[in-house]
Amino acid sequence: MPQVMEFKLPDLGEGLTEAEIVRWLVAVGDVVAIDQPVVEVETAKAMVEVPCPYGGVVTARFGEEGQELPVGAPLITVAVGAAAGAETEPDAEPSGAGTSRSSASESSGSESSGSGNVLVGYGTDHSRQARRRRVRPATAEAAAPAPVRSPAPAAAAPVAVPVGVSTGPVAVISPIVRKLARDHGVDLRALRGSGREGLILRADVEAALRAPAAAVTGAAGSAGSAGSAGAAPAAVRAVQGERVPLKGLRGVVAEKLSRSRREIPDATCWVDADATELMASRTAMNAAGRPKVSVLALLARICTAALAKYPELNSTVDLAAGEIVRLPAVHLGFAAQTERGLMVPVVRDAQGRSAEALSAEFARLTELARAGKLAPSDLTGGTFTLNNYGVFGVDGSTPIINHPEAAMLGVGRIIPKPWVHGGELAVRQVVQLSLTFDHRVCDGGTAGGFLRYVADCVESPAVLLRSL
C-alpha cells in the first residue's frame, strides 16, 4: 500500500515566515521524482522553486496561485510507492487531509522514499525540526487551506449579511484570510463566503474591501432604520482611506529599519568633494577598449580601500556577548531599485575585486534583482553598504544603517557647481558624501578619517587607480 506523505512549505531561511504561490509546476495525479520542483513561490526577498523531498503520485495540492501560505503549511501530499495512474483520492475534503497528515507523520521514519538533500525543516530522516517564525496565536480554526486540484471557476461575489446577525460558525480555515480581515477591520461574520459550503476565501475579503457599498447595502438599510446615521458597518469604516498591507518586501524593510533605529545609536557626517578627476579617470579607463567601469564600481573600490585603513567600520556588535566583532572580509551591499521596491544585493569578498570585476558583479546582481531571481543568499550577509541615492536626483541624505552592519556610505548626484580650484573659482563636478555609522564601534575621529579618505580618493584618484 502506498504511504501518503505530506510536504509542507519549508523554512526558506533568513527568518522568512511566509511565501506567495506564484505558479504550480505539478497537478494532482502527476508523478513526481525526489527533489523535483513542484511549486514556484515568491518570498519577501526572491522567487524560489521549491523541490519536494518525496517521490510518488501527487494526491492533493494546497493553496491557489496568488495565495500566501505561512511556513509549515501543507503544500502537497504524495502517495509514495503508488504507480502512475493508480487510484488516489484527490477530492478528499479538508477534514480528510488530517488523516493523510497523520499517516505521513506515522510513516516519517521511512528513508527509502525521501530526498538525500536537506530543506530547512526537512531532515533526511523526515523528522520535524524547529522553524524560525513569528509566534502565531493558536486557534482551533487555524487549519490548513483546502486542497486545490485545478484553478477554480470565478467565484461569485460575496454576500454580506447584517452585522450581529448570527449565521453560524465563521467559515474560515485560512490564517492568511483571518489576518487580512483583521488588518483591515473587516467583520468576517458579515460575509458569506463563495467557497465550498460557504467557505470565506481571500477573494471574498478583498471584494468586500473593493466594493463595500454594494456588499453591505442590505445591512446599511436595516441599520439606518434602527441605529444612528453615523453607525456605518465595519467593512465601510475599514476602507475610509487607502490601506496598504505592510507585508512582503515592504514589511521586511520596515521591520529591519525599525530594528536598526531601536538598537543602533547612529550618527552621520558628510562632506562635499570635487569628483572632476574621478570622472575624468573613468572616461580614460573606458576609452581604453576594456570592459566598462561604472562610477559605483569606482566608489566601491575606494570604499574597500578605506575599510582596510579603518576596519572598525567593517564590523558588527554582538549584544549577547557584549563584543564588537571586526570582520575579515568586506561583503559589500549596494542599493538597487526594482519594481518590487528597494533591494540590497551583496557582493561577496569585494576587497579582492578590481573595479572591472566589481562593475560586472553589480550589473549581474542588479539584473537578477529586477527580474526577481535573486536567491536569499544574494541578499544577506553584508558587512558594509554603499547607497547611491544620487540616481534619484538628490544631493544628500542621512542613511539608516542596514542592521546588523555598522556603517553605510551615501553618495549624492554628481553635478557642476562653483568650486575653488587652484585658488580660483571654477565650475567643477561636485558630489556630497555622507557616512552614517554605529557610534558603538568607533568615535567621530575614526568615522571622519574614513570619510575624509574617501573624499581624498574621489578628488585625487590617480594613486588608487594604479592598483586597480
Catalytic residue among 331, 403, 421, 439: 439
Q: Look at residues 135, 251, 262 and name the one whose alpha carbon lies nearest to residue 183.
A: 251
276-283 CB contacts, 8 Å cutoff, 24+ apart:
276/421, 276/428, 276/429, 277/458, 277/459, 277/460, 277/461, 277/462, 278/429, 278/457, 278/458, 278/459, 278/461, 279/414, 279/429, 281/461, 281/462, 281/465
Q: Are residues 231 and 262 in the same domain?
A: no
351 lies in a domain?
yes
CATH code of residue 389: 3.30.559.10
Q: Are residues 192 and 93 in the same domain?
A: no
Block mean pLDDT (10 aa), the chain, length 468: 87 71 91 90 75 92 89 91 50 40 40 46 40 39 44 43 41 63 80 77 81 44 43 51 78 85 95 96 88 94 95 96 96 88 91 94 93 86 94 90 96 96 96 97 96 95 62
Looking at residue 176, its pLDDT comes to 62
Pair 266, 314 in one domain: yes
- Does 297 reside within a domain? yes
Q: Is residue 147 part of a domain?
A: no
Structural domain contains residue 289: yes
| Final residue belonging to a domain, choices 83, 106, 129 | 106
Tell me, what's the pLDDT at 189?
79
Residues 183 and 213 occupy one common structural domain:
yes
pLDDT at 353: 95
Q: Are residues 288 and 434 in the same domain?
A: yes
Do 261 and 230 belong to one domain?
A: no
Q: Annotated catalytic, 439?
A: yes
Within 10 Å of residue 426's Cβ, how many Cβ atoms?
Answer: 14
Do 318 and 457 lie in one domain? The reply is yes
**Same-domain status, 20 and 69:** yes
Last residue within a domain, chosen from 238, 265, 280: 238
77 falls within a domain: yes
Based on the fold, state whether residues 296 and 407 are members of the same structural domain.
yes
Give the three-class secondary structure for 142: coil
Of 219, 238, 257, the position where a domain reaches its end is 238
Counting the structural domains of the chain, the total is: 3
- Burial status of residue 416 (CB atoms within 10 A of its CB: 0-12, 13-18, 19 or more): exposed
Residue 390 lies in a domain: yes
> What is the value of pTM for the model shown?
0.56
Give residue 213's domain range: 159-238
Supply the pLDDT for residue 27: 93
258 and 215 housed in the same domain: no
> Could you tell me if 59 and 83 lie in one domain?
yes
Residues 225 and 299 in one domain: no
Within-domain flag for 41: yes
User: What CATH number does residue 68 fall under?
Assistant: 2.40.50.100
Task: Flag whether 131 is in a domain.
Answer: no
